[in-house]
Structure 1
Amino acid sequence: MKCPFCGTPSTQVTDTRENDEGNIVRRRRRCLSCDKRFTTYERIELKMPQVVKKNGSRSEFEREKILASMKLALRKRPVTAESVDEALDRIESTLLALGEREVASEQIGALVMQELRRLDKVAYIRFASVYRNFEDAKEFSEVIRELKPPRAPRREPQI
């Protein structure tokens, strides 16, 4: 590993730790030349499926694109970055578990909506308005109605 400060290829690992899930390794390193310290991360790289867009074109799966759209929906909402990362990890895990070489962008959008619904109802509605291309207020009210739990039947007081 080259030192990011001086470019020398000789560095020494001073500490190694895994995250709780065991899928990321964090290494603290020290440059043997300039004696500066830095951190590197190792994570498993799996081949994500190709994304098939509505127009039929294909592109690489980009976690950053999903993150950007989720952040936009979650703007000024009380959701932690850690929760968003966990949601993204669940989306990626679901896509990998499908075992498909290609996945429709609509399927990814549905997974994002599912995660946003779990994280924050307002962000869910924001994302849904763009994803489903709402035309009027009626469509907003329909989505809000979906979010409301069904009412329990009223019981008459017993005398």
Structure 2
Amino acid sequence: MMCPFCRHGETKVIDSRASQDYVIRRRRECLSCDRRFTTYEKIEESPLKVIKKDGSRIPFNREKIRAGLEKACYKRPISDEIIQGMVAEIESDLYEQFDREVPSQVIGEKVMDALRAVDQVAFVRFASVYREFKDVNDFVDELEPILRAGIR
């Protein structure tokens, strides 16, 4: 690491600690001028791309998942913390399972699975838009497994 004051190429690390998600804060001292400075190291992630239904590829955006969850959970007894937890879990799963590209269908299914476990009404709201329900029969087809399982 080069000293920002004297441009000497050798420094020593005095203190290291985790700062935020995957960020390490390091306090350094220059071996030439003895001045101290702070650096931050962050893991460089390869950006995940989403493969849309039409074959186009767009950068992954966790805010789109959050927005979809918020719309589905509108006026439901679901806190922002629960929504943020679902977003974080979905994002974590995607980065674990996929290196560079993920089909949008996988993301939609993960969102539906998360909503199914949290709130049945929010799940049906999301499913109706995601699966593009055309009539009442589509709703019934989606609800049948839930009703058969005895979850009401």
- Number of aligned positions between the proteins: 117
- Give the letter aligned to residue 112 of structure 2: M
Listed one character per residue, the Cα deviations across residues 79-137 of structure 1 (whole Å, up to 9, x for unaligned) are 01001111011101110111321010011000110111111110100000011110110
- Structure 2 residue 59 is the aligned partner of structure 1 residue 60: yes
Counterpart CA distance in 1 for 2:115 and 2:134 is 21
Report the Cα offset of residue 150 of structure 1.
3.4
Partner SS, residue 89 of structure 2? helix
Please tell me the root mean square deviation across aligned C-alpha atoms, in Å: 2.5
Counterpart CA distance in 2 for 1:110 and 1:47 is 23
Q: Give TM-score, length-normalised by structure 1.
A: 0.65
Partner SS, residue 75 of structure 1? coil
Which residue of structure 1 lines up, in the alignment, with residue 137 of structure 2? 138
Listed one character per residue, the Cα deviations across residues 53-98 of structure 1 (whole Å, up to 9, x for unaligned) are 0111110001111111111111000001001111011101110111
Listed one character per residue, the Cα deviations across residues 20-47 of structure 1 (whole Å, up to 9, x for unaligned) are xx8478xxxxxxxxxxxxxxxxx86643
Pairwise mapping of residues 103-118 of structure 1 onto structure 2 (< 5 A)? 103-118=102-117
Counterpart CA distance in 2 for 1:148 and 1:48 is 40
Q: Give TM-score, length-normalised by structure 2.
A: 0.68
Matched-pair contact (CA < 8 Å) for 1:48–1:95: no
Which residue of structure 2 lines up, in the alignment, with residue 98 of structure 1? 97
- Give the letter aligned to residue 121 of structure 1: Q
Q: Which runs of 4+ in 1 moved over 4 A?
A: none
Partner SS, residue 148 of structure 1? helix
Report the Cα offset of residue 146 of structure 1.
1.7
Which residue of structure 2 lines up, in the alignment, with residue 38 of structure 1? none
- Give the letter aligned to residue 117 of structure 1: R
Counterpart CA distance in 1 for 2:48 and 2:113 is 19
Matched-pair contact (CA < 8 Å) for 1:48–1:61: yes
Which residue of structure 1 lines up, in the alignment, with residue 120 of structure 2? 121
Counterpart CA distance in 2 for 1:44 and 1:120 is 35
Which residue of structure 2 lines up, in the alignment, with residue 81 of structure 1? 80
Pairwise mapping of residues 32-43 of structure 1 onto structure 2 (< 5 A)? none
